[in-house]
Structure 1
Amino acid sequence: MSDNSNLPAISKQVTELVLAGSLSHAEQAFAEAAEQHGDLAVVEVLNNIPPHVTALHMAGFDGGKLSLATLLVPPKAWAQSLAYLAATWPDDLIEDDPERIAESLFAHIHGVVFGTEDEERRNELLQEASATDWGCTAFAILFSMAPKEVLELAGEIISKGPYITGQTTSDNDVVPLALALAKASEDGWDRALFELFPDFRHSADLADAEFSDDPDDEPSFLQRSTKELLYRLRKQVPSTRSTAAKAGSRRSMGTGIFN
């Protein structure tokens, strides 16, 4: 990047465009910055714009829509922006169609994490996101779409440790993301499991729990629903006076399975 003197102006421009709802124009501003100054200019802008602006911009893109922000967002900036995604969800949609929001959140997180072939960047993205309370809740929302498969994976991790393959009886798309999280951050994996299953312990008995095919049946142990987790994430959206919540306040089992 030959000249970064224009970056404050670009950051201001992008912020104003996003807040005005002109996401396509904001993306165009990113593209022009990359063309004139290189990809690092986009990285720098994403580092400098407020995290709620990043959230608003990236909420307009999912795994099926290519965005420079998706490809280049710095891990820490992305982790901070996740705190604000829930503020973009309509209340009636949370109440009436929580699965639709969960699927959209999955498309977003999956698109960012697997939008790169760089394993180091992928691990950094997962580590930064799961180091926050809201990030762990976001992962729990995704896991709530496939609780049986996630517990099956937890059981395989418990029994095989570093020899984990990630193979389960299901080809659900959540499983590769869950495995990537477990390998990138054991603490983040544990905390996301605790969010979904508050009674979770590293026990084969729980990991082998039976799931009924009848959606009206009560689960045999405490499990938070997708809707409940969406509301939990909504409550974690920082206020405008406090834009950074404390991370790392939850308990962790610290199993060291991938050492």
Structure 2
Amino acid sequence: MSDANLPALSKQVTELVLAGSLGHAEQAFAEAADQFGDYAVAEVLSSIPPQVTALHLAGFDGGKMSLATLLVPPKAWADSLAFFAATFPDDLIEDDPERLAEQLFAHIHGVVFSTEDEARRQELLQAASATDHGCTAFAVLFSMAPKEILEVAGEIISKGPYVSGLTSADNDIVPLAVALAQASEDGWDRALFELFPDFRHSADLADAEFSDDPDEEPKFLQRSTKELLYRLRKQVPSTRSAPKAASTRRSMGTGIFS
């Protein structure tokens, strides 16, 4: 794709997405892919503002596949993920946080598992979890199945790279959690500590147990889905400034797969 075509296509896609014409934006991508190859679509997705990519990808969650979902470069997706929570209404965070968490799960799961390419999957997970907003987004998902996440944490401590992801409940979040832990040790740890801020080492989590009694007070601090959604909303960058891509947090890697 020539340098002359890229700005024109980027401008066209941006205008279509902002106008709500996602189908037409996809059509523009398809025509570019036919003419210049898949690389052209990836180039455009790297060049348009991340908030535009977020709006586009949000329209193709779950079962609705798109070229953008299949071809978005890992860093462009990680940057766009920062803006996903900008569309969350306050009343929905208050009244139905689980619905928003499921929407976020459909988005992240849809992008990460859009292809069978293991290397791409790892790159997507590494790029997203290298950001503060990415780790908070994963924690939002994990908050929907904290008991299973603790089981996975325990299994990772005991089995390392041979973790199977088998838990006492069949939950769609578990394969994503295992994939994250295998792709990025540090990202997995940081997402865990967003959900369970009392813990500073995942080995401590292996000894933590959940009561099956819903009325029993938890023995340790766990952030709620609602609290994590508000944290994610506060991390939405101002569109007047460049998105913050790199985390300033210290690494808390624990050598789980070494």
Task: Report the TM-score when normalising by structure 2.
Answer: 0.95
Report the Cα distance in structure 1 between the residues aligned to 2:153 and 2:167, rounded to whole angstroms.
10
Aligned to 1:199: 198
Aligned to 1:210: 209
Alpha-carbon shift at residue 143 of structure 1 (Å): 0.4
Deviations 1:130-167 (A, max 9, x none): 00000000000010010000011001111122332222
CA contact (8 A) 1:152 1:208 kept: no
Aligned to 2:85: 86
Aligned to 1:137: 136
Q: Letter of the aligned partner of 2:92 in structure 1?
A: L
Aligned to 1:9: 8
Q: What secondary structure sits across from 1:110 in the alignment?
A: helix
Report the Cα distance in structure 2 between the residues aligned to 1:203 and 1:240, rounded to whole angstroms.
35
Please give the root-mean-square deviation of Cα atoms over the aligned residues, in Å.
1.6
CA contact (8 A) 2:202 2:254 kept: no
Alpha-carbon shift at residue 249 of structure 1 (Å): 2.2
Gap change, CA 1:205 and 1:49, over 3 Å in 2: closer
Q: What secondary structure sits across from 1:80 in the alignment?
A: helix
Report the Cα distance in structure 2 between the residues aligned to 1:215 and 1:251, rounded to whole angstroms.
35
Gap change, CA 1:199 and 1:251, over 3 Å in 2: farther
Report the Cα distance in structure 2 between the residues aligned to 1:215 and 1:22, rounded to whole angstroms.
45
Report the Cα distance in structure 1 between the residues aligned to 2:22 and 2:217, rounded to whole angstroms.
42
Alpha-carbon shift at residue 93 of structure 1 (Å): 1.2
Gap change, CA 1:4 and 1:204, over 3 Å in 2: closer
Alpha-carbon shift at residue 256 of structure 1 (Å): 1.7
Q: Does 1:174 align with 2:173?
A: yes
Unaligned segments of structure 1, at least 5 residues: none
Q: Letter of the aligned partner of 2:178 in structure 1?
A: L
Q: Letter of the aligned partner of 1:101 in structure 2?
A: L
Alpha-carbon shift at residue 205 of structure 1 (Å): 5.5
Alpha-carbon shift at residue 44 of structure 1 (Å): 0.6
Aligned to 1:95: 94
Percentage of matched positions with identical amino acids: 83
Q: What secondary structure sits across from 2:64 in the alignment?
A: coil
Q: Map 1:129-168; keep pairs closer than 5 Å.
A: 129-168=128-167
Report the Cα distance in structure 2 between the residues aligned to 1:191 and 1:81, rounded to whole angstroms.
20
Q: Map 1:1-259; keep pairs closer than 5 Å.
A: 1=1, 3-202=2-201, 206-245=205-244, 247-259=246-258
Q: Letter of the aligned partner of 1:82 in structure 2?
A: L
Deviations 1:49-81 (A, max 9, x none): 000000011111112101111000000000000
CA contact (8 A) 1:137 1:233 kept: yes
Alpha-carbon shift at residue 128 of structure 1 (Å): 0.4
Gap change, CA 1:206 and 1:84, over 3 Å in 2: same
Gap change, CA 1:234 and 1:198, over 3 Å in 2: same
- Farther off after superposition, 176-185 or 87-96: 87-96
Q: What secondary structure sits across from 2:152 in the alignment?
A: helix
Q: What secondary structure sits across from 1:224 in the alignment?
A: coil
Count, aligned residues: 258
Q: Letter of the aligned partner of 1:132 in structure 2?
A: T
Report the Cα distance in structure 2 between the residues aligned to 1:101 and 1:114, rounded to whole angstroms.
20
Unaligned segments of structure 2, at least 5 residues: none
Q: Letter of the aligned partner of 1:137 in structure 2?
A: T
Report the Cα distance in structure 1 between the residues aligned to 2:241 and 2:197, rounded to whole angstroms.
27
Gap change, CA 1:233 and 1:68, over 3 Å in 2: same
Gap change, CA 1:204 and 1:46, over 3 Å in 2: closer
Gap change, CA 1:123 and 1:228, over 3 Å in 2: same
- Farther off after superposition, 237-246 or 97-106: 237-246
Q: Letter of the aligned partner of 1:11 in structure 2?
A: S
- Farther off after superposition, 30-39 or 240-249: 240-249
Gap change, CA 1:205 and 1:198, over 3 Å in 2: closer
